[in-house]
A and B are shown apart, each in its own frame.
Chain A
Amino acid sequence: MQIEIKYGPSYALAIVNLEKDEEVISESGAMVSMDSHVKIETSAGKKDQGALGGLMSGLKRMVAGESFFQNRFRAEGKSGEVTFAPTFVGDMDKHELNDSTLLIQSKSFVCSGVGVDLNSKWGGGKTFFGGEGFILLKASGSGPIVFNAFGGIRKIEIDGSFTVDTGHIVAFEETLTFKVERFGGGWKSFIFGGEGLVCHFTGKGTLWIQTRNPQEFGQFLGSKLPMRNR
């Protein structure tokens, strides 16, 4: 599998070239274009998991904010191309897992090779008003994985500690310990401070962040759009 990322840092497109009969797994809705002989298989779980295992995987992924179903693209009979793009304007980066684990903000996952196992993981810290909290996808195994950002991607090597607004987290290595809590600690600063959930990282490892926060942008647009009926 060859993955080329073009048109960054604003409108990144991932161009995946699959070898004959090779597969790539992606988030539903991310496909932009593909060669016609590439077959899509929509499934809830991995091939060897069986019906119940597949159902559980699908449900967990739904909780993680990903769709229930995953798409597997297979270049049938000969090599083929599939391209992927996310909703938000911004950059993309690829990472090679070598029997290692990466934790990815669920909305940032684009695609991965079949050697990468994907599981949802609750990041902790339910907000005062309910809502999503902070949801992660745990990607472990070996192979390529592509993630996207809203805005630019900044790679930060942590050795010690670092605090980040959760809406800006794209991905981080499992070697980092993390703790999610309300920024500022008290209710007053949570409600009026303008910040939401933060994640305290400690240890040694790589963290990728995005320079824009989707929830803040959504609120920014939403406040200027006409009201809806429901």
Chain B
Amino acid sequence: MQFEIKHKPDYASLHIKLQTGEQIVTESGAMMGMSPELKMESNLKGGLLSAAKRALGGESMILNTYTATGDGQRLDLAPAAPGDMLHIELGDRDIMIQSGSFCASEPSVTMDTKWSGAKTFFGGEGLFMLKASGNGNLWITSYGAIHEVYVEGTYIIDTGHIVAFEDSLSFNVRKVGGLKSLFFSGEGLVCEFSGTGRLWFQTRDPANLAAFAHPYRKVKPKN
């Protein structure tokens, strides 16, 4: 397998060349271009019974698995939002990934959508944290650029900006500041990370873009 990330950090895309039998698992919708000989299979992470849970905004994802039927087959991937891409070689530490930031991985990387902290980070926006474990290549994406912080001690970050973090870090999601800041600072939910490890955040928050666009929607006329 060979890969290259192009157009960083503004419109990053992933370009992979596979040898016979090699596989890549991607989030659905990521495919931009491919050799037609690649075999593609779609799976509902969590199985068919989880389909009911999905209606409650539960932790499910549709993942596509591509298998190369010959040498040198190409798969080009692009995420939904304009922004950056990061490659991580997964090894001794598990990585928690914001669900919207998962792009692709090798099948040797396992995704857990149901670990205990999965739903504690976001105030019901349909986002959750995935736990990636095992070893192999992992690619994550962002809205905006990806900034890496090496935490030694404690560090606070606005949850809408979280992309990923190493599981050596413990976390505590809360409102920022004291009582007055609770209501007026406009900062919302933050996550306090403690311990030692790497964390990655994105420099733009898609929820802010949605909040900006909302007042521009035309109002339904009363009938």
Contacts and interface: CB of A to CB of B under 8 A. Distances in A.
A36 B219 CA distance: 42
Interface string A37-67: 1111110000000000000000000000001
A122 interface: no
For chain B, what secondary structure do more than half of its interface residues adopt (helix, strand, loop), or is it mixed?
A: mixed
B84 interface: yes
A228 B144 CA distance: 28
A13 B176 contact: no
A159 interface: no
Interface in B195-223: 201-205, 208-209, 211-220
Scoring B82, B145, B149, B177 by chain A CB atoms within 10 A of each residue's CB, the highest score goes to: B145
A36 B154 contact: yes
Contacts of B82: 10, 89
A68 B10 contact: no
Nearest to B84: A11
Given A11-B83, A42-B180, A89-B82, A229 B156 contact: no
Given A31-B187, A35-B156, A218 B215 contact: yes
A13 B147 contact: yes
B219 A227 contact: yes
B145 A7 contact: yes
Given A11-B9, A13-B203, A29 B186 contact: yes
Contacts of A229: 219-220
Interface of A: 6-7, 10-13, 28-29, 31-42, 67-69, 71, 83, 85, 87-89, 214, 218-219, 221-223, 225-230
